Structure 1
Amino acid sequence: MTPKPRCEPRENELTSAESPLLDAERPAGYTSLPLPEEPQAVSWASIPKKGQLAIIVLARLAEPLSERSLTSYLFYQLRWLSPGLEPSEIAKQAGYLTAVFAAAQCLTSMWWGRAADHPHLGRKRVLIIGLSGSALSALGMGFSTSIYFVFLFRFLAGALNGNVGVLRTMISEIIDDKRQVEFCFSIRQPNSNISHRYQSRAFLLLPMCFNVGVIIGPLLSGFLADPIHSLPNVFGPGSAIGGTDGVWWMAKFPYALPNLLFSTILSMAALGIVLGLDETHPQRRHLPDFGRKLGRLLTGRLLKHQEPGYVLISDDDYSGTTVCNDDHEATGADRPKLVDKPRPPFKAIFTKQVTLALMLLFLQSIHVSAFNSILFSLLPTPKAAKDGFELPFRFTGGLGLSTQKIGFANTTIGLIGLPLQLILYPIITSRIGVKRSYRMFLPASIGAYVLLPYLVLLPEDTRIIWTCLSVVLVLQVVSRTFVNPATVILVNNSAPSPNLLGSVHGFATSVSSAARIVGPTVGGSMLGWGLSHNFVALPLWILTILAAMNWMLLVYIQEVQM
């Protein structure tokens, strides 16, 4: 009986290098494989499949660029649509638009996640639909001439896009690919520990894109909005491009130009998905992808140097050699076909660990979103007279900062977050783990919640105010930098099956959207009550309680790997 080929020698067994005579006893077709090397240090440069991750980064970056750009011109666009409205009414409309977007996302994200899990649709097609929907919504927003159309397109922007959950799913599947690979001449299992070394960095890419969007989006849109007046030498009357009367469509639709730019970026991201991104759905990943074939043709990256029928697997993914790949040359009856397999029901995602992880996500999202809303309401609120104060609990008022200083505070948050995410987060999480870093840095946000209301008591000294405000912002950003990606990883790893990853992330996006509706709405209402009743610290103390509950819930979360 022919002995079964083995990839590695048993303990104390000689290898072929030590005894060439062993080769004569091995069966035909036996391939010897090198012993696994010691894992190398993890760095950003060592992350595998960087090309695929770059396309995901482009897709994610395009969305916050477009969404955050609204903060620069939304107030002025709403005033242009309704010139007679009071500023307080315009502020309310802006808040309603935020709620409409979040509500639409809350209602549809779980269904987009479920659609991404469906073998006839897959992750890639859902991403293309989402990016295309965002591009069309941006165009509609820019060319709207009525407040009703603005609400319609903001609703569509939220309803047509469930990409955040799908992108998280694809990152999990790209970095943590546990497919069993059948070698032509021998069988070797992939080293699953390799992929988990990169997980904390890979899941950090999406929040990093958000921080970049926070910085760049408002700057670009502020520069391009109402270009007839903001760039008169380029587009205005008498300019080289504008001619005698200026560019007519920019005068008729003053907020179309930034939306045209971001719609183009979103469309380019969708095209990048079509041409460059591999499908990661377990039942679709082996099917022919004509978009990827066209992408390879256009970029000239055909695998001409390899033997037909084989693909070389990267050492980052498998410690092996050549694998059988029938997809390259398979045609007709030999081509892989989609097999309908029974899908787990949606309720299968609600295991104990998934439920706990979603509770963790809801608590974290609600107190972070409420804090952001309260912070940017307190900053411009005028300072109050200290006559009726009863320290240390009963006091009111804000910091009285100008719009320019508020914008600087917003930019500061993004500028602090980026280096923390790029440098500090990967080093610490690789040493102490995701859950421990979560437990260690979440209390920093509690410190920010406790300290923020007392800033209204500071004297009228710019240096003192900005020093203390910077301390609060640093505490919040440090906490958010470690907690946000860690929450996503814990939700991802709680999924009961790879076939339910899209459903889990889709439902998680809905949960997060629901929290982002409740947090700012309730937090803003409580802040208004606190300002009028000499109790401005009350909403922030409630956030402190929610954050403490968030921290205690960690005890019941198991840090598992998919």
Structure 2
Amino acid sequence: MADEPRQTLLKKDYHENCPGCKVDQLKELKTGLPMRELIRDFNIAKREEDIGYYSGYVGSAFMVGRALTSVFWGLVADRYGRKPVIIMGTITVVIFNTLFGLSVNFWMAIATRFLLGSLNGLLGPIKAYAVEIFREEYQALGLSIVSTAWGIGLVIGPALGGFLAQPAEKYPNIFSKESLFGRFPYFLPCLSVSIFAMGVTIASFWLPETLHKHSKNNKSRDELYDALEAAQESCTKEITQKDEVRELASNESLLKNWPLMSSIIIYCIFSLHDMAYTEIFSLWAVSPRKLGGLSYSTQDVGEILAISGFSLLVFQLPLYPYVERLLGPVLSIPLLQSYPFTAMLSGLTLSLSINCASILKNVLSESIVTGLFILQNKAVDQHQRGAANGIAMTAMSLFKAFGPAGGGSLFSWAEKRQDASFLPGEQMVFFILNVVEAIGVLMTFKPFLAQRNA
């Protein structure tokens, strides 16, 4: 036994009923790639327990890169337009997602994920674009489409990674172990995403630019010369001075724009809540019944995530503009507190209950986020919209980076107090989630949440 390679020993320790293995399998469901095997193949983990530790770094590298550069890409979008940043972001996906699939060691994987996050400034400008491409009455629909893209990824991503990763082992008749896909077992799903991103890049060249430079204060040279010739010198100076004052006022620091900052703060609170909830829900679902969990397999959790993602597609496009006025974050509180009691059910009743609850929770969360997107984009003028969304993305990325770690730690602590007299076990977990949710709800009222006067 002592002479066996360390990698072989690690593989022998892997089994479905191991709690650590289940946790890492859950990460695979979220990333779309078998992260556990990926880290193992890099031969950097000395023990089986260390694999989750290293996979966390790979997972967070993208978020750190995005947090560092979102404001910069927002400023670029305000200066040069939304379209160039969108095209640059999709090209970045093509290049660095492909390189990630070709990673030969842990540090190459970290670097490619970090660069993918740093050079991909898509989300902020896309939110600005979604607001600007629609008339005001359809802006909720435009931003709900952005949220729908997440639902599509939630459905397609895990399935793509599960079917296409390690093709030489799964489809030996098509892919040999000596081929490129045999030597790089995680290259095929990455390549598939890159090919799709290339198609999106090409299609993006036909997108109309929404950041227009031909406003009243930014006329063409010919129009400006005509205006100067027609106007008297004194009137021209007066108009110029008024324009400068208006421009100076509109360029006031975004950090002093309370309608913007209040909506971003609330957005961060709910983002933290959603990330912690996602982590806790997955851990709770695979926990044994004796600890208050559901004893689900990772495949069961994957099915719930896929169904919830598909529900967003159904909800966001046809229903969100109508439901937006009727639903609010308050409904999430009693829903979450009912989760621990759901574990008392079994069979078909449990399956229906947990799927319905998960669908409703995701629908409510997307309603909250889309509403905050609208407030953020209405709080600034068009020429500041990219930077405003960049600030929101930076703050959200930092909070989302803390969410999984905080949620995992909270869940581990709660499992150790099964015999507590006050809110034992998972009841305490969902109670604390509801406290965070309640704080976010209170912030949605005046005077904290302000709206910009038209």
Provide TM-score, normalisation by structure 2.
0.80
User: Structure 1 pair 413/85, CA: closer, same or farther in 2 (3 Å)?
Assistant: farther
Q: Please say if 1:139 is aligned against 2:98.
A: yes
Q: In the aligned structure 2, how far is the partner of 1:425 from the partner of 1:268?
A: 29
Match of 1:424 in 2: 319
Q: Please say if 1:264 is aligned against 2:154.
A: no
User: Structure 1 pair 138/284, CA: closer, same or farther in 2 (3 Å)?
Assistant: farther
Larger RCO of the pair (alpha carbons < 8 Å, separation 6+): 2
Counterpart amino acid of residue 156 in structure 2 = I
Q: Please say if 1:445 is aligned against 2:332.
A: yes
User: Structure 1 pair 142/561, CA: closer, same or farther in 2 (3 Å)?
Assistant: farther
Q: Please say if 1:108 is aligned against 2:69.
A: yes
Q: Determine if contact 2:34/2:165 at 8 Å carries over to the other structure.
A: yes
Q: In the aligned structure 1, how far is the partner of 2:139 from the partner of 2:402?
A: 31
Alignment: residue pair count: 395
Q: In the aligned structure 1, how far is the partner of 2:307 from the partner of 2:215?
A: 42
SS in 2 for 1:92: helix
Out of 358, 381, 385, the residue aligned to residue 264 of structure 2 is 358
Counterpart amino acid of residue 115 in structure 2 = L
SS in 2 for 1:235: coil
Q: In the aligned structure 2, how far is the partner of 1:155 from the partner of 1:382?
A: 36
SS in 1 for 2:173: helix
SS in 2 for 1:469: helix
Q: In the aligned structure 2, how far is the partner of 1:511 from the partner of 1:518?
A: 11
Match of 2:15 in 1: none
Q: Please say if 1:173 is aligned against 2:132.
A: yes
Aligned-residue offset at 1:424: 2.2
Q: Please say if 1:96 is aligned against 2:27.
A: no
- Please list the CA deviations of residues 237-292 of structure 1 after superposition, one character each: whole Å capped at 9, or x if unmatched: xxxxxxxxx5621111111111111112112212222x201222232799xxxxxx
- Higher mean C-alpha deviation, range 527-536 or range 152-161: 527-536
Match of 1:467 in 2: 352
Q: Determine if contact 1:443/1:479 at 8 Å carries over to the other structure.
A: no
Q: In the aligned structure 1, how far is the partner of 2:214 from the partner of 2:180?
A: 45
- Please list the CA deviations of residues 297-349 of structure 1 after superposition, one character each: whole Å capped at 9, or x if unmatched: xxxxxxxxxxxxxxxxxxxxxxxxxxxx999xx9xx99xxxxxx978657235
Q: After superposition, where does 1:379-458 map in structure 2 within 5 Å?
A: 379-384=285-290, 396-429=291-324, 432=325, 437=326, 440-456=327-343, 458=344
As a proportion of its length, which structure holds more helix?
Answer: 2
Identity of aligned residues (%): 25
- Please list the CA deviations of residues 47-104 of structure 1 after superposition, one character each: whole Å capped at 9, or x if unmatched: xxxxxxxxxxxxxxxxxxxx98833422222222238654432222222222222122
Q: Determine if contact 1:450/1:541 at 8 Å carries over to the other structure.
A: yes
The structure that has the greater radius of gyration is 1
Q: CA RMSD in A?
A: 2.8
Match of 1:19 in 2: none
Out of 159, 162, 186, the residue aligned to residue 118 of structure 2 is 159
Aligned-residue offset at 1:114: 1.4
Return 5+ residue gaps in structure 1 as ranges. Answer: 1-66, 176-194, 237-245, 287-324, 335-340, 385-395
User: Structure 1 pair 523/233, CA: closer, same or farther in 2 (3 Å)?
Assistant: same
Q: In the aligned structure 2, how far is the partner of 1:71 from the partner of 1:79?
A: 17
Aligned-residue offset at 1:354: 0.9
Aligned-residue offset at 1:488: 0.8
Q: Determine if contact 1:97/1:151 at 8 Å carries over to the other structure.
A: yes
Counterpart amino acid of residue 64 in structure 2 = A
Counterpart amino acid of residue 222 in structure 1 = G
Out of 503, 511, 516, the residue aligned to residue 395 of structure 2 is 511
SS in 2 for 1:232: coil
Q: Please say if 1:123 is aligned against 2:64.
A: no
Match of 1:478 in 2: 363
- Please list the CA deviations of residues 429-450 of structure 1 after superposition, one character each: whole Å capped at 9, or x if unmatched: 3xx4xxxx4xx33123212321
Aligned-residue offset at 1:470: 2.3
Match of 1:201 in 2: 141
Q: In the aligned structure 1, how far is the partner of 2:97 from the partner of 2:388?
A: 28
Q: After superposition, where does 1:332-371 map in structure 2 within 5 Å?
A: 347-371=253-277
Q: In the aligned structure 2, how far is the partner of 1:197 from the partner of 1:98?
A: 38
User: Structure 1 pair 555/86, CA: closer, same or farther in 2 (3 Å)?
Assistant: same
Return 5+ residue gaps in structure 2 as ranges. Answer: 1-27, 227-243, 419-424
Match of 1:43 in 2: none
Q: In the aligned structure 2, how far is the partner of 1:266 from the partner of 1:225?
A: 18
